[in-house]
Amino acid sequence: MPDAPTWPAGFAERYRAAGHWRGETFGGVLSERAAAHPDRVAVVDPAPERRSWTYRELDERASRLAAGFAARGISPGDRVVVQLPNIAEFVEVVFALFRVGALPVYALPAHRETEIGYFCAFTEAVAYVVPDRHAGFDHVALASRVKERTPTLKHVFVVGSPGPHTALSEVPRTPSGTVHEPRSDDLAFLQLSGGTTGVPKLIPRTHDDYIYSLRGSNEICGVDADTRFLVLLPAAHNFPMSSPGWLGALYAGGTAVLCPSPDPATAFPLVERERVTMTGMVPPLALVWTEAGPGTEHDLSSLELVLVGGAKYSEAAARRLEPALGCRLMQVFGMAEGLVNYTRLDDDHETVVTTQGRPISEDDEVLLVDDAGEDVPEGGFGHLLTRGPYTIRGYWRAPEHNTRAFTEDGFYRTGDIVRRTPTGHLVVEGRAKDQINRGGEKIAPEEIENIILGHPSVHDVSVVGVADEYLGERTLAYVVLREGAEPLKPVAVKRLVRERGVAAYKVPDLVEFVEAFPQTGIGKVSKKGLRSEAAPAGTVPDRH
């Protein structure tokens, strides 16, 4: 059985014939750019002291490291969990893996032992790449614990002091013979899904499909060789990677400027010094930038375009961004599974502030259906289903889940509730999936519920999102205690989740003890009921 369903031959032929899939690979693109303009700057990493790599340097580094990885036994198709912050080595490592034909599995810096242990075990990863420390956390110690319990994991490569592992800088860098050249329809990497289930699903993306999404994004956003894209969000996330992101900037021969932290105190001086032209951010961060922009002593005049997406951006906030930052706004509504929508540079202002854009491609098929799967009338709300040249046909090694997440004819059920304007722009109205969107960070309630249920005093638990002015939503855990159990404090529930070793953003913001959950008609716990208890009517973010 293949690891993941792919596009049926007829669709693949169509996407090739249309010129969407051009047979390019990431490794090949980098070589071509390095040959065409070797001395242009590809990557700037400002911390702790400024480093910048030209296309020639990045290309050479990636090739040498690819040879080193190959010499260490990393082979085509092998999985390698990459958990690096926004540093130049991130770019070097992933291009080296692309060249080997090994698949990076993109973990976020916030992930901890539970998530990393799962990624390594589930993907049977042969290697794990980490920083020594980041944000006060000891990744070397975490890597040791994960390596101990993951039999497939042969290597841990560390940027910095390696402890008992291998320093990335010690991997032999002498090219040794030929390195395997992947095909453009091979998988390039595994991206993480936001998730609605107990464990995140993995998203298999090919060179062909992802590069098409980059080319389409670049065209829409006006990315070219003069673009200097600031990577504010974690570089492993799909949004800063490809919308148009650091990979888009590199595809166009521009420059990716890596930002260690997205706050204005760190980022504004970088915008000024590096003459940044474009960046992307989630709505809560856009609020912070909008507040800080007008009073700043830093020169932000190089900034031409800011993309905002990942969660719903309120119209009121959207109206304030352009005057505050002196640049254009573009809304983006995308998903790591594929489909990405952008407002356009030639859209009128009202469209930019009131919609989440329209699809990249004329071959993106978008259906809006009701609960019974019937098309909704034009202008009505519906479940968004999609299929197209850069939307996956199934998750990696998840055949059972795929039967629910995709229709029989290959449409991905996004779980989003949207409506379509007469111009074809989508407006996100809510969500049907059991997921919390905490300022762009996605949380699967089931994952947290399973942890809390492990406590001996807990009879039942339900984790829901409640409206929050700044984050859009934050998390609330309703807990029913066992009869006669020791009373618990909210802080103990939070500690339990934290100590289980999951990303800090998944720790419930609020914990409330209740006698019983509201019931639905069929006797199941009603998450909708729980949300409307917690938030005044009209502010409930979801419709289902």
What is the binding site for ligand OOB (CB under 6 A)? 194, 238-239, 243, 309-312, 331-336, 340, 356, 414, 416, 428, 431, 437, 442
Between 143 and 230, whose beta carbon lies closer to ligand OOB? 230
Between 162 and 280, whose beta carbon lies closer to ligand OOB? 280
Give which of 192, 74, 81 is closest to 143, Cα–Cα: 81
Between 63 and 356, whose beta carbon lies closer to ligand OOB? 356
Taking the complex as a whole, the smallest distance from the CB of residue 238 to ligand OOB amounts, in Å, to: 4
CB atoms within 10 A of CB 416: 22
Taking the complex as a whole, the smallest distance from the CB of residue 509 to ligand OOB amounts, in Å, to: 19
Between 67 and 202, whose beta carbon lies closer to ligand OOB? 202
Taking the complex as a whole, the smallest distance from the CB of residue 195 to ligand OOB amounts, in Å, to: 9
Between 150 and 197, whose beta carbon lies closer to ligand OOB? 197
Cα distance between residue 356 and residue 312, in whole Å = 8
Between 58 and 221, whose beta carbon lies closer to ligand OOB? 221
> What CA–CA distances, in Å, run from 520 to 173, 207, 386, 527?
61, 45, 30, 9
Output phi, psi for 8, to 5 deg.
-60, 155
Between 143 and 405, whose beta carbon lies closer to ligand OOB? 405
Taking the complex as a whole, the smallest distance from the CB of residue 425 to ligand OOB amounts, in Å, to: 12
Taking the complex as a whole, the smallest distance from the CB of residue 105 to ligand OOB amounts, in Å, to: 15
Residue 466, CB-side half-sphere exposure with 13 Å CA sphere: 20
Compute, in degrees rounded to 10, the torsion defined by CA atoms 187, 249, 439, 305: -150
Residue 323: both structure tokens together: 């005057």
Between 128 and 239, whose beta carbon lies closer to ligand OOB? 239
Length in residues, the chain:
544
Cα distance between residue 183 and residue 8, in whole Å = 17
Taking the complex as a whole, the smallest distance from the CB of residue 214 to ligand OOB amounts, in Å, to: 12
Contacting residues for 189 by C-beta, under 8 A, at least 6 apart = 94, 97, 98, 103, 104, 105, 106, 205, 210
> What CA–CA distances, in Å, run from 383 to 368, 405, 432?
5, 12, 8
Taking the complex as a whole, the smallest distance from the CB of residue 336 to ligand OOB amounts, in Å, to: 4
Taking the complex as a whole, the smallest distance from the CB of residue 190 to ligand OOB amounts, in Å, to: 13
Taking the complex as a whole, the smallest distance from the CB of residue 280 to ligand OOB amounts, in Å, to: 7
Cα distance between residue 4 and residue 205, in whole Å = 10
Residue with token string 């809560």: 284
Angle between helices 139-149 and 113-123 (to 10 degrees): 40
Cis peptide before 104 (omega within 30 of 0): no
Between 46 and 338, whose beta carbon lies closer to ligand OOB? 338
Cα distance between residue 5 and residue 471, in whole Å = 35
Cα distance between residue 403 and residue 383, in whole Å = 17
Between 92 and 416, whose beta carbon lies closer to ligand OOB? 416
Between 193 and 462, whose beta carbon lies closer to ligand OOB? 193
> What CA–CA distances, in Å, run from 197 to 81, 116, 185, 270, 451?
21, 16, 29, 38, 13
Between 104 and 334, whose beta carbon lies closer to ligand OOB? 334
Cα distance between residue 229 and residue 225, in whole Å = 11
Largest CA distance in the chain: 73
Taking the complex as a whole, the smallest distance from the CB of residue 349 to ligand OOB amounts, in Å, to: 17
CB atoms within 10 A of CB 392: 28
Taking the complex as a whole, the smallest distance from the CB of residue 466 to ligand OOB amounts, in Å, to: 17
Q: Fill in the amino acid letter for 514.
A: V
Between 431 and 527, whose beta carbon lies closer to ligand OOB? 431
Taking the complex as a whole, the smallest distance from the CB of residue 297 to ligand OOB amounts, in Å, to: 31
Q: Is 65 helix (H, G, I), strand (E, B) or coil?
A: helix
Residue nearest to ligand OOB (CB): 334
Residue with token string 């390698």: 80
Taking the complex as a whole, the smallest distance from the CB of residue 274 to ligand OOB amounts, in Å, to: 23
Q: Which residues of 294-315 are buried (b: 16+ CB within 10 A; e: fewer)?
A: eebebebebbbbbbbbbbbbee
- Contact yes or no for 394/400 (Cβ under 8 A): no
Angle at 435 between CA 390 and CA 289, to 5 degrees: 80
